[in-house]
Chain A
Amino acid sequence: MDKKLDASFERVEKALAVLIDSMTKFTPSEKAANDVVKAERDLFLGLEELEVHQRNVVRIKQLKQETEALDAQTKQTISALWEMRKELVAVAPTKFAPAKEEKYPFTTQQLLEYARRISRNTLPPPGVTNGVDLSTATPTTPDDQAGGGPDASFAASVGGGSGQGTAASTPAPGVQDSFVSQAPFQSQTGATELPVHLKPAVNPLENAPFFTFPTIDRIRSGALAQYQDLVNRGIDPKNYDPEEEERRLKQEEQDRKDAEERARQEREEQDRRMREERERMARERELARQQQQQEGGMDRRGSVLAPGQGGGQPSRSAPKQFTFLDEDDDDEDED
């Protein structure tokens, strides 16, 4: 660049010298003047080029500075990254209790069923306020409810002693506020709704408490209480099932009754057999006695009557007696 400018200057000087020389000789040459103008134009062009050059140099310097700054930034970032990586590596990984953490996928249906199951214990029924004033826009602070009861001192200490408002005084403005705010609404909708001050009277859940945990009564009537009851009665609850026990007792009772019934039936059967036996023996004895009597009678008749008459009469009378005995025997069988 310098050489180019030097050449331009030199050319200008030479042209100027030629012009001056020609002028001093009083022979001004137009060509020399044109040369000067031309050389000067070249010089200006060269100077403009120099300006551009210098601007470029400045720009290059700026760019170099920028590059250096960016280099520094890159280095800084990389070193920060390295530091961070080192720190990350140094952080001990959290160890979850079960090493093989299993995923338990569930469906929307299951989720909704669970929500339905727990909602009766997490969501108060409509109308239950638990003493919270629902008419105010913002939730009350814990010490707003600190009226009465053993929690008063606790709440006072928590709230720095400022929360001395009683619970009795808190709901009162709330009721009034709701009455005032709902009065215009009521007049617009017509007379289908009860007046606000009567609503609590028809709401069975008014002032009913809602707990998010099982009540003491429920705990006292639960399985653990039954367990404790068994322990108190001196029964080892292990492998003891009251229902099973009850079934077993009932079964034993039933078995006992069945056995008694069977024994009774057997006894009756035996009695019946003995009675029949006795009757049979009595009949046999009777029969034997009658036969004896008959034989004895025949002997006596045979001795009294003539042989011709005595053979006909007993043969006629004997069937009568047997017929009678047969009928008696039939009756017994029917029994």
Chain B
Amino acid sequence: MASEPMSVGSSAQDPPPVPDATSQEPKHGGHTRFELELEFVQALGNPEYVNYLASRKFLHNPAFVAYLDYLQYWTRPPFLQYITYPTSCLKMLELLQVERFRKDILSPNLTQALIMDGMKAAVEWHREG
């Protein structure tokens, strides 16, 4: 699969190739597109970060919303196995597809509530299990 340069104008519909020993991916600041997108999609699991993005009006940008939609390839194999924060990251990616949520996450109260509930769920899920 040919790698695409990472810019809004390019056809970023194809996910980056899964890295292997022989891949010669062009690097952006020392990291491949795969690495950068993996890090970004996992960073989205942090409600504070999403709140920060919302405060910078990224979530109102149609190009960015399209990018969020494109990032859903992380919910499918073979990319899924590379996500090390699956619980919060995948849920947040799902929520970010909803316009209402993209507006609501601007609220610090919702951000804080998400953090607290996530922390509690992590403990309670383990206890129930």
* A→B interface (CB under 8 Å): 97-98, 104, 106, 110, 114, 117-118, 121-124, 128-132, 134, 139-140, 142, 145, 149-151, 153-155, 158, 209-216, 219, 222-224, 226-227, 230, 237-244
Picked from A151, A213, A222, the residue with its CB within 8 Å of the CB of B109 is A151
> Are A226 and B122 also in contact (CB < 8 A) when A213-B88, A216-B49 are?
no
Closest to A121 in B: B85
Contact of A212 among B5, B76, B88 (CB under 8 A): B88
Q: How far is the CB of A148 from chain B (nearest CB, A)?
A: 10
B122: A residues at CB distance < 8 A: 122-124, 130, 210-212
**Contact across chains for A129 and B45 when beta carbons are under 8 A apart:** no
**In the complex the two chains form, is A237's CB within 8 Å of B29's CB?**
yes
Query: How far is it, in angstroms, between the C-alpha of A131 and the C-alpha of B110 when the chains are bound?
Result: 19
Contact yes or no, A227 B28, CB < 8 A:
yes
By beta carbon, the residue of chain B nearest A101 is: B76
> A122 vs B81: C-alpha distance in the bound complex, in angstroms?
14
A211 touches B112 (CB 8 A): no
How many CB-defined contacts (below 8 Å) exist between A and B? 144
- Would B30 and A212 count as touching, CB distance under 8 A? no
Across the A-B interface, the 8 shortest Cβ-Cβ residue pairs: A213-B45, A237-B29, A154-B109, A104-B77, A130-B119, A151-B112, A213-B88, A227-B29
Give chain B interface residues in 72-129, CB to chain A under 8 Å.
76-78, 81, 83-89, 92, 107-110, 112-113, 115-124, 126-128
A223 touches B127 (CB 8 A): no
Given A213-B45, A227-B36, is A238 in contact with B120 using a C-beta cutoff of 8 Å?
no
**With A118-B84, A226-B31, A242-B29 in contact, do A214 and B109 touch (Cβ < 8 Å)?**
no
User: Which residue in chain A gives the minimum CB-CB distance to B72?
Assistant: A97
B36-50 contacts to A, CB under 8 A, are 36, 39-40, 42-43, 45-49
- Asked if B119 and A210 sit within 8 Å, CB to CB, the answer is yes
Do B108 and A213 touch (CB < 8 A)?
no
Which residue of the partner chain, among B84, B92, B112, B126, contacts A124 with CB atoms under 8 Å? B126
B86 engages A118 (CB within 8 Å): yes
Choose from A123, A158, A210, A224 the contact partner of B36 (Cβ within 8 Å).
A224
A118→B90 CA distance, assembly (Å): 13
Q: Min CB distance, B1 to chain A, in Å?
A: 14
Asked whether A222 lies within 8 Å of B88 as measured between CB atoms, the reply is no
Task: Give the nearest-CB partner of A140 in chain B.
Answer: B120
Out of B5, B42, B113, which one reaches A154, CB within 8 Å?
A: B113
Write out the residue numbers on chain B whose beta carbons fall within 8 Å of the beta carbon of A142.
113, 117, 120
A210: chain B residues at CB < 8 Å are 119, 122-123
Residue of B nearest to A237 (CB): B29
- B123's contact among A104, A134, A223, by CB below 8 Å, is which? A134
16 other A-B residue contacts (CB within 8 Å) besides A213-B89, A219-B43, A242-B29: A104-B77, A106-B81, A117-B84, A121-B84, A122-B85, A130-B122, A134-B123, A134-B127, A139-B127, A212-B119, A213-B42, A214-B42, A215-B46, A216-B49, A219-B49, A226-B30
